[in-house]
Structure 1
Amino acid sequence: MGDQPEETKIPHDRTSVELFAGGGGLAMGVHRAGFRPLLFNEFNNRACETLIASGGRVLGDSGLVLTRDTAPVPPGPGEPAPLYPGDVRELDLRKFEDKVDVLAGGPPCQPFSAGGVAKGDEDKRNMFPAVFNAVREMRPKAVICENVRGLLRPSFADYFEYIKNELRLPFMERDPRRTWQEHNRSLMEALGEPDPTSHGLDVDGGLAAGDRDPDRYRVIAFPVNAADYGVPQVRNRVVIVAFRADLGVDVVRDFAHEVRAHPFSQGALYRSMRDGSYWDRHHDVPPHVRERVMARLPRDVKDDGRRPWLTFRDAIKGSRADGERLRPLPEVDLARLGEKYDFGEGLFPGHIGWPGARVYKGHTPNELDRPAKTVKAGVHGVPGGESVMELDERVQDPSAPGGWRYLHRYMTVRETARVMTFPDQWVGCGPRGEQMRQLGNAVPVILGEFFARAVSHALDAAGQ
């Protein structure tokens, strides 16, 4: 991987703990933003293998070490971070108290996902309570949680408010004999009236602007589309961020404004196609593909001053939002898909062809000149065709529109990792389906980095 870019070198010893680490997307983003990892936790064995295999190449210069100790000790600078491969609820994190700048994690999303059974708080996989317990034991300066947009469904609205209220007052621990609704009423009474300085943002939840209670957190929640932050994928999620109240972070001025001023847009992509700068970057695109894309563009696009969304083609060819240039991925020979041949030849792990992709009504492929569809935790069976891609190559077909049919195939694991902005040094472990599950459940690295960097800036502004 070589030396880190200058902007990602750690300016001082900021630290992080990663729960529900999965394949490492959020952990990599937090590390790239300048945080030294103190602890990783992940329950899935294959994901733990992935974290170990990727190790120091992408998760910290000192790597990580497997531990079965349920009361791990924070490592010092230059020491490997412990990885606990088990249930987070078994961990005793009190030795990390006041040593953690950021607690990060994406609690399992199945309870709130449209693809799951959507039981919400009744689902035993709901791990938000484990996050609240970790906050109580570690007292981190900040918390970053990512979850699916389904958390914003009207049917979950009351429970979503409860999640934020409990994060605001994590030390008002719930009596197990009480329902969450009863506990939420107590939290709301303690919080009092909403802060009038929040300017309509989903922030603060009743904490007065001067409240410096170290047992309280100032909370803000953002619905985000990862494409707006430089990820070559339309991925709608919710990010919840909290700052400990005694630190004096101005959540609106020093954090919310930076995040809401997202640097990329769809309109800017359209403008780059109209002015030709996008095609200058992809000069080898066949004329018939370019003509088809241009015919679909809206006539009028306003200049919003943002940078263009990145596309699936950008990801494959190696363009990244952070300015780093990756090597273009080798072409995949359609005639060899049945061999499950390694087209990366060991240089691009997981760039292996896979046969059997189909396209039909309701199961349409990714287009190269748009951001990819949301990567989901499945290999073949995901709805909507999210793991299938349309190619530049076409064949004559009288039954197809215009008399031509575009060819398609399954995305390789490496192409999927590129769409998730994982570095090429990331090594997924387990069979193909398991690697795709890890990627589908992950946070895109660049999205995680953006939020972690914004948290770091807010802490800097508060002198923390």
Structure 2
Amino acid sequence: MNAVELFVGAGGLGMAVSQAGFKPQLVVDWDPWACDTIRQNKKAGLAPFTTWPLVQGDVRDVSFSNISKTIDLVTGGPPCQPFSMGGLHRAFLDERDMFPQAIRAVRELQPKAFVFENVKGLTRASFSSYLEYICLQLQYPSLTAKTKEPWHDHFLRLEDYKARGKIRGLQYKVAMRVLNAANYGVPQKRERILIVGFRSDMNVTWEYPIHTHSNDALLWSQWRSGEYWERHKVAKRHRPDDESGKARAQKLKAPPAETPWVTVRDAIADLPDPELHPLLAKAFPDHRFQPGARTYPGHTGSPLDEPAKTLKAGVHGVPGGENMLRRTDGTVRYFTVRESARLQTFPDEMIFHGSWSETMRQLGNAVPTKLAHVIVQRVHDRLKGTS
């Protein structure tokens, strides 16, 4: 099955698309640093980058008419700054809003399915009407806005079209949900909105996958069975003083059925601390100490024995708390590029192009590959009729 990946960035969602069995016919991004990251990995022979037909440029200038093969899936993460907590919150007034281009791709390529992701901020009350407008456009992509028609007028026409029930032409069944990556085995509490659609003639029934990991299971393994500390060989005197976690664990009557959340310690335990052991850290690519980390109210770092906080790209520079590790003794340091890549479930073999701050921007904008794979694999299986 063939796919088109828009706004690929560092490739978190794109890798999941290839891993699920789709063949990319077009991969697009405008950012030169992210494109250089893809090119470097392609040159190094790292799959799946070796087969990606990458186009660096503005998606608004991309013509889909040159694609001769039938496209089964369109995916992408339209730039999220208009909706993120760190952005200017301008939504449809923001020229960086690329959802119109995602909708254009669906309209022109008419794929069997699509998957678009974005920040949880898109679900805020101030954007609720615009989010509904996006979903209606994806549901009826052929009913386009008229020249100079305000978005809210187009929105009302779409609502009226749906209410009349006389639907003709291209139509999709659209579902939307906010998923926490930690609930699917990602060592990071990263909430993303996933919008999934299937062309109506496919007669596909879609349900989002149930979560496989839980905080309760982690608390049980830490404060009831003790398996977590034994596995990591952490003596009692070096364990965090987590009274609330202990209290919650004591209320659990039986071991939860889910797998424990994956923690920062789980993700980076085999990597030497680059500040405490810089010579040993040199043996690992992109694993160098970055000075300057400090704490202040609201920016206390990610605890070692929980999933990390959401890594951030930083519109006005790298923020303090989200991209820091907080050790059990209370000291902090910035995550290295390699550690951040692990928190986003990128492969260790992957090369990142650019300085630490530039690479952290790429990683902060990315979708965790493991979360993306859970969704895209399920879409693939639905299209194949295997699940």
Residue 439 (str. 1) matches residue 363 (str. 2)? yes
Which residue number in structure 2 is paired with residue 52 of structure 1?
39
Which residue number in structure 2 is paired with residue 301 of structure 1?
252
Residue 101 (str. 1) matches residue 56 (str. 2)? no
What is the CA-CA distance between 1:57 and the residue it aligns to? 4.8
Other structure's SS at 1:222 match: strand
Which residue number in structure 1 is paired with residue 297 of structure 2?
361
Are 1:25 and 1:422, in contact at CA under 8 Å, matched by a contact in 2?
A: yes
Task: Read off the aligned partner of 1:38 and give its amino acid letter.
Answer: Q
- CA, structure 1 residues 97+248, in 2 after alignment: closer, same or farther (shift >3 Å)? farther
User: 1:265 is matched with which residue: 186, 206, 214?
Assistant: 214
What is the CA-CA distance between 1:48 and the residue it aligns to? 0.4
What is the CA-CA distance between 1:290 and the residue it aligns to? 2.1
- CA, structure 1 residues 295+221, in 2 after alignment: closer, same or farther (shift >3 Å)? closer
User: 2:102 is matched with which residue: 123, 131, 134?
Assistant: 131
Other structure's SS at 1:38 match: strand
What is the CA-CA distance between 1:218 and the residue it aligns to? 0.5
Counterparts of 2:230 and 2:382, CA distance in 1: 38
Other structure's SS at 2:221 match: helix
Counterparts of 2:108 and 2:68, CA distance in 1: 6
What is the CA-CA distance between 1:414 and the residue it aligns to? 0.6
User: 2:273 is matched with which residue: 331, 340, 347?
Assistant: 331
Which residue number in structure 2 is paired with residue 448 of structure 1?
372
What is the CA-CA distance between 1:118 and the residue it aligns to? 0.4
Counterparts of 1:315 and 1:373, CA distance in 2: 13
Counterparts of 1:359 and 1:432, CA distance in 2: 20
Are 2:86 and 2:314, in contact at CA under 8 Å, matched by a contact in 1?
A: no
User: 2:26 is matched with which residue: 33, 39, 42?
Assistant: 39
Are 1:353 and 1:410, in contact at CA under 8 Å, matched by a contact in 2?
A: yes
Residue 429 (str. 1) matches residue 350 (str. 2)? no
Counterparts of 1:443 and 1:27, CA distance in 2: 9
Residue 371 (str. 1) matches residue 320 (str. 2)? no
Other structure's SS at 2:302 match: coil
% identical equivalent positions = 42
| CA offsets 1:202-221 (integer angstroms, 9 cap, x no match) | xxxx79xxx8x661111000
User: TM-score, normalization: structure 1?
Assistant: 0.77
Which residue number in structure 2 is paired with residue 461 of structure 1?
385
Counterparts of 1:183 and 1:150, CA distance in 2: 23
User: 1:169 is matched with which residue: 140, 144, 153?
Assistant: 140
Counterparts of 2:96 and 2:134, CA distance in 1: 15
What is the CA-CA distance between 1:365 and the residue it aligns to? 1.6
Are 1:98 and 1:140, in contact at CA under 8 Å, matched by a contact in 2?
A: no
Gaps of 5+ in 2: none
Task: Read off the aligned partner of 1:265 and give its amino acid letter.
Answer: S
What is the CA-CA distance between 1:264 and the residue it aligns to? 1.0
User: 1:185 is matched with which residue: 156, 167, 188?
Assistant: 156
Counterparts of 2:380 and 2:256, CA distance in 1: 27
Which residue number in structure 1 is paired with residue 281 of structure 2?
343
What is the CA-CA distance between 1:364 and the residue it aligns to? 0.2
Residue 17 (str. 1) matches residue 4 (str. 2)? yes
User: 2:115 is matched with which residue: 144, 152, 162?
Assistant: 144
What is the CA-CA distance between 1:34 and the residue it aligns to? 2.0
- CA, structure 1 residues 462+163, in 2 after alignment: closer, same or farther (shift >3 Å)? farther
Counterparts of 1:57 and 1:263, CA distance in 2: 33
Counterparts of 1:28 and 1:58, CA distance in 2: 11
| CA offsets 1:309-346 (integer angstroms, 9 cap, x no match) | 100111103xxxxxxxxxx223323385xxxx79243x
Are 2:272 and 2:280, in contact at CA under 8 Å, matched by a contact in 1?
A: no
Are 1:109 and 1:147, in contact at CA under 8 Å, matched by a contact in 2?
A: yes
Task: Report the count of equivalent residues.
Answer: 382
Which residue number in structure 2 is paired with residue 28 of structure 1?
15
Task: Read off the aligned partner of 1:267 and give its amino acid letter.
Answer: D
Are 1:15 and 1:100, in contact at CA under 8 Å, matched by a contact in 2?
A: yes
Which residue number in structure 2 is paired with residue 156 of structure 1?
127
Counterparts of 1:189 and 1:331, CA distance in 2: 59
User: TM-score, normalization: structure 2?
Assistant: 0.92
- CA, structure 1 residues 445+462, in 2 after alignment: closer, same or farther (shift >3 Å)? closer
Other structure's SS at 1:54 match: helix
Other structure's SS at 1:223 match: strand
Counterparts of 2:275 and 2:121, CA distance in 1: 38
Counterparts of 2:305 and 2:45, CA distance in 1: 31
What is the CA-CA distance between 1:289 and the residue it aligns to? 3.0
Counterparts of 1:154 and 1:295, CA distance in 2: 31
Are 1:107 and 1:147, in contact at CA under 8 Å, matched by a contact in 2?
A: yes
Deviates more, 1:267-276 or 1:42-51: 267-276
Which residue number in structure 1 is paired with residue 188 of structure 2?
233
Are 1:214 and 1:245, in contact at CA under 8 Å, matched by a contact in 2?
A: no
What is the CA-CA distance between 1:425 and the residue it aligns to? 1.2
| CA offsets 1:332-385 (integer angstroms, 9 cap, x no match) | 23385xxxx79243xx32111111211122220211100000000039954461
Counterparts of 1:300 and 1:460, CA distance in 2: 43
